[in-house]
Amino acid sequence: ELGKQMRVEDSTFIYPGEIRYRVLINVPDGDDELDSLPYKLANGAVDWMEADGFLRPDNQIRDVQIKFDNAQRSVMIGGIIKNSNDFLISKIVISAIVRDQRGGLIGASRTLAKDLSPQEERYFQIVAPIVDGVVEDDIVPAKITVEMVR
């Protein structure tokens, strides 16, 4: 319920100088417009790592397509992700943020891939439910973010 506090326990990491987008799914909705949530970072349980183990993995996303489904009130975002590293990526979270021409948030979702071998390419698909009243011409290309874990 909006207006009440919600606690989401999650863990992630952030590289120096990085802007991190977090997509939460199954967040209760209400009558108010929801574009972002106040996000408080707790640092009580910091796990420090050696710098060599914290190098940012490289990836490549290509052939991204977006399809609007008016009947299902959703947008399907598909593409190919490549592990451009010489090591296995154990977990990849691919998130999509969908906005309208005015910049308003109209949908968001994410998908998970596991165990992507070095230089492997894999198809991904994200289905993002969208708000009522949106027509296909309102939708701009989705912002895709990738979070990779060795």
Check whether 83 has a pLDDT greater than 90. yes
Q: Is 3 left (phi over 0), alpha (psi -120 to 50) or beta?
A: left
Average pLDDT over the chain reads 80
Residue type, position 119, single letter: Q
Is the whole model's pTM more than 0.75, yes or no? no
Answer for the pair 77, 123: CB distance below 8 angstroms, yes or no.
Answer: no
The lowest-confidence range among 20-34, 46-60, 128-142 is 20-34
pLDDT of res. 99: 93
